[in-house]
Structure 1
């Protein structure tokens, strides 16, 4: 049996924040158990977090399947590949001294892989989707949007929540491909709803040609439109487009109202690209 790497330290450590976020993101808000399928929600409609992170290879000597650890790198024990999200019943089932022998490392890895396959991206896909092509910054995607769903107060099925999560993260990737100044202009339009072009010009102390090029960038991304027709009563105003949100323009209002009600700075989401603020 492998021993602790340090006599005064325990092998069992809390998962790193990014690891925990990935587990929740790839869970679909359901227990990973699949034989038979367990549809227990990991976050209840009331917002209670009832899911439990389980070790496939136990961290401590004497824990379930600990003997499978090679004893070399203690960090492997809290790595994403060694953890799975389960409901309380199945978490206790695989760890109980009475039943643990029935669940091997290979079996649990297969259960985890099958469940997460529906929801997970590969690392390369994440890099490709969220890399900012302008300055190399990386979008921090939403993992669960639990805070947003609780704020919205509308009970959605797990599949519906997953659809909204995927929509927002695709949108996040598109925002991440904008220049920073375009993202700053976008925030102003979101805050002001239909600001006048001259107002935006004064706010940014920019010359007209530069700002027009930024607006064209936003128009191409299907996020902002400049009313410049002579016959248009809103001539000179900027308004939001719903193309980047895949036909859900009401999401602009939802993001604006969520930020105001939850005391979140919309700049943190749309400029700093921290969409995890919705979690």
Structure 2
């Protein structure tokens, strides 16, 4: 019988992505790298894309970012760096020291930090990004989105990348995984979630967010969330944005920078 799926203790968070295969992949800028599920299935991680310049799909996300941007799980920092090159305020956070070093070398600003730890500018970020499957962080999308409600400005927004086209829109999967470079699993087991856009909508509503639009770009799918007018303070949910407040993400068109 498999052990129950439980949250990874806070003290082990940094072990997830400091495992050697991930560090080596970031240093070389290439895979192969996978999440190895307990059932033996391998979920590929697109290291080459992460280490490259933003692609056309990324640009649709950057065009919708308003104000100061927090990239959660920034990896090697392609989005943070691109925003910096445009003169836009942005910070990446990642639990991998190698990811943060690579981001800084490329000209971006980043910190070694978990999203569940204290962050700069809490409650003032106008846009937060959960790209490249990072809605899966911690294996609990509701807990993650509830935390984002504490981090993002009441008039701000979160842009989430969901499972790609061709997967079930209602995919809602929780797995125990380990990193794998093709030679077998390595390092600690941790929890990871994968969700389609319909499942994301349910998790978002439970955490006090409302989907305001979604789009597909190439082989990737995205959903923009804003605070729900039904959200209340108890349970970590944020109060609704003020009437007439300027929101950081306007879907489907690009957003202005509202600071």
TM range (shorter): under 0.3
- Comparing both structures, which one devotes a greater share of its residues to strand? 2
Name which one, 1 or 2, has greater alpha-carbon Rg: 1
Normalising by structure 1, we get a TM-score of 0.20
- Structure with more of its chain in helix, by fraction: 1
- TM-score, reference length from structure 2: 0.21
Higher relative contact order (CA 8 A, sep 6+): 2
